[in-house]
Chains A and B, each alone.
Chain A
Amino acid sequence: MELKPLHITGALLIDGDTPRPGSLLVVDGRIAALDPAELPDGTETVDAKGQWLAPGIIDLGVFATDKPAFHFGGITRAALMPDNGPLDGAGLVERAAKGGKPDLWVHPLAAATKGLAGKELAEIGLMKQAGARAIATGRARIADSGVMRRVLAYAASLGLVTIIHAEDEGLTAGAVATDGEMATRLGLASAPAIAEAIAIARDLALVEETGAPVHFRQVTTARGLDLIRAAKAKGLPVLCGITPAHLLLSDTAIGDFRTFARLSPPLRSEDDRHACLAAIADGTIDILASGHDPRGPEDKRLPFAEAQPGMAGAETLLALGLGLVRDGHISPGRLFELLATTPACLLGVDAGSLAVGKEADLILVDEGTPWQVDAKKMAAWAGNTPFDGMPVQGRATMMWKGGLRIR
């Protein structure tokens, strides 16, 4: 089927800090013009009726290819973490990359080490040829500093960013929460929040030495963010990300042993949460992602310490991000930098912004409509959201992937 040219009119375009009225023309699956003066023959027109027109969300670091949840959430591309499998061979990467086509693009993140065991280099070069866009250490970090140093240098030589989980395994062994009043009252094994900063400090030293680009997938503590800030000031090739959970929830959310709030890294103190909000406002945090990790009752309906960490986040990512805009932490333009532009840049894909020539991965966003998060009625294959019952505003109403309407 041939794609007709598409003209989206009456939209508020998100191509700068604030939404501006305008229209956008898509030809052959790419953005052909903003506010076009003339249209090709046979152009199909869609009236956005004043809704926001934004780049489709590129969700960096999900643990499952969960298309209904991604489509609900306005996510057109998802970078898949290597943990299930694990994705440590070219064949596996190739298969994972085909997992969502044509209406969702999955960008597999290759396992940095064989079996994600943190011991031997995986076939990073072959996986790159098979479609891997970056490599990742998975749910844990690489404990051995020697291995980590070789991984960073090797991946950098192939032009790949290394995506890191930053927690010191010596401090976090056995822990299911962050040290603090809540963990102590509940009698849960906990680890000090500095487990994150210690891990970040080591890897920043390795980055400084190797010059390798890295992305800390989740930085959730004041001290961790301070280190990132200092590294950026020095000009090191460092990015960092976060999920809405660590911006909006603190460890009080695990009260009553709510396993949906058992996350990795665990929820932090209220002080750290405020530091995260400050860091997303001042530009220290580069990427906002869902961390989508759907978990059924077999993983969650257990005593807290026996439950698996993780949350189903894809459906709530956009609405919670819009909440950050509404609360004055970030501008609409910055929100989509966090959700699309910077992730596209990291993955080296030609999308993620409303610029001429980019792939037409687009969403219409009704930013005001209120709805309520309901764990029992999620599009995701499991409803393990820590935001159950929360009233939110805004959702994606239409989606295009490469100019093709998919919702």
Chain B
Amino acid sequence: MPRTICHPSTIQDYLNDALSPEDEGAVEQHLTDCPVCRQCMTTAAGSGDDWTTITSALRADELDEGRQIVSDQLLWPLTLLGPTDDPRMLGRIGPFEVSGCVGVGGMGVVFKARDPALDRFVAVKVLSPQLAASESARSRFEREARAAAAVVHDNVIAVHQVSEYQGLPYLVMPYLPGPSLEERLRQQGPLAPVEALRIARQVAAGLKAAHAQGLIHRDIKPANILLSGQTERALLTDFGLARAVDDASITRAGALAGTPQFMAPEQARGETTDERSDLFSLGALLFTMLTGRPPVPEASGMETIHRVGSEQPPRLSVLLEDVPRALEQAVSALHCFAPSQRVASAARAESLLESLLPTAGRRPLQRRHATDCAGRQSSLPANLKQLPVWQRWTLIVLVVCLCVAVWSKTSDPPSGHSAATASTGARRRPHDTPGTDSAVTGVTPVDIDPALTEPDSAADGLAARFGRQSSDTEASASSAPELAGSPATEQRPHDTTVPVSSDESESKAADTIKPNPPALEDPDGVQLDALLQSIDRQLEHLENR
């Protein structure tokens, strides 16, 4: 289709790598003669400030002492390429002329390349040399890539070709400049239910087609979902690659290629996986789209694997306000710990998600206040384990005292049920087992029994309180050991306040995204603060002995 070259949108597309090779050449030629487009290109690339900031950061000054400013050490993916005759290209893989490297991951390198036969850009994914060294990983990669090539569906990225170049298997896919779901979430935060469901439904449809061919994806995560242009089509990529990585035994060495945050529990435990494992990951994906963060926070590979394999996944309503019941049930039905209780097939998942679309909300669901604590809370057991046993117990006793103190100060007495839940949570803490985190917040981990999905507002109110305390305690608990003996101990008074970002843009971003920063605003909070400080002091005292 012919395009107007002299147009701002063409310039944008050029910078976004969204033009065909032919149009790219035309734009470059056109710029030589068109000062308007030249200006347009410059401002589209970055504001005047951007140009100044970046170029001055890259300019050597007297502090650099003649050292190399921009390292040329990151060129290793290019060593995978063969020589090319075209000076505009980086090299070639088989018949494909490589013009750039789109990404480097644990599994391999993705190049942007020109397909000379059809004069179009394609994405060429080359298995990393380390993985390719394992014979079973290689054959798995090739076998599964061929199987994926057989899946023809709107929501599964097409595999044009599977081949090998200098001992490295590669596959050729359409080049899609659109963002991945991961990028989208990072840029925009949580999605509106209607948008999240639309994407999840398409992923389910893609999985249905793949499962029909006996192909299990095993690595459904936001980075593997590509969003295509304005039509908002979601495409599944990277079939079978997860298995190739497993075969290469890299996982057993502890260096995980991918994130296990979206894995099904049975997969994390190394048990047999089936179609339902993909559906669990789909549930985790939906959870992430709605809340803006994965159900399991990022930690080291082994810790995450352990948590995924042993803990009940969190409920939506623990993190979000006013979750429609049907939506919560749907997420729980997918994101369900026991495979036998999960939605049984991708086809059912698709119709379930489809049925929710007409009533789905158009605005992202609001986060609960206590949500901000969840991330820190989760690291509490890990930090506790770092302390010697007697210190740990001292801390625990202090936390229990604190809980009791605040609870007795609460002006509106909570119902018997929720109080019992909360104190059970506090008492369970000494056992220090992962998986009791949610008990501290007063919310019991729930299987997908629909009767239990009704949010208990009294319990949640208390949960908010206790959530705050435990996480604040955790913050001070970890601050004392960390800073002891380091020069930074001097800034203790500064440290006991909520940490302030020194970066203006960061704090600005945080403000816009998080309308309700957790502040100690209630009267109890003042007391809480004092108690926390005394715990802090005692811990410091313990440390110094």
Q: Do A and B come from one complex?
A: no
Mark B residues whose CB is within 8 Å of A.
none
